[in-house]
Amino acid sequence: LGKKGIIKIADKFFDDEEINRISVIVPNVRLSIIRNYSVAEKKEVKMPDILKGIVKCVNPQCITNNEPMTTYFQVIDKNNGVVKCHYCEKEHKINEQNVLI
């Protein structure tokens, strides 16, 4: 059985960038948009194939850790949260220490 949790955020509608950040932290989440006390829309949130500016590279020698530039990752395994840095090509698993919030 899966787990279910509810987070209520009033008067806030997420843009695509914010939804991408949510998908990195909680993969395969479902967002329910509620208007006038009823569910107006449901969105299945899937992790995108490319993550820009969301994850920090774990390689201390990576240019993104030494220069002011946006991180860029290709998602290798969505189920296990494995990503590959575009610049240094290091693969690593996403965890709460390397997510840029």
Q: What is the largest CA-CA distance in the chain?
A: 51
On whether residue 42 sits in a domain, the answer given is yes
In a domain, 60, yes or no: yes
Question: pLDDT digits over 38-68, tens only?
Answer: 988 888 888 899 999 999 999 999 999 999 9
pLDDT digits (tens, 9 = 90+) for 13-45: 888 888 888 888 887 788 888 888 898 888 888
pTM of the model: 0.77
Q: What is the pLDDT of residue 62?
A: 96
* Domain assignment of residue 66, yes or no: yes
Residue 85 has pLDDT above 90, yes or no: yes
C-beta of residue 14 within 8 angstroms of C-beta of residue 20: no
CATH number at residue 61: 2.30.30.20
Positive or negative CA dihedral for 76, 28, 2, 11?
positive
Beta-carbon-side half-sphere exposure of residue 77 (alpha carbons within 13 Å): 8
Number of domains in the chain: 1
Domain range for 85: 16-93
Tell me, what's the pLDDT at 1?
60
DSSP tag of 21 = H
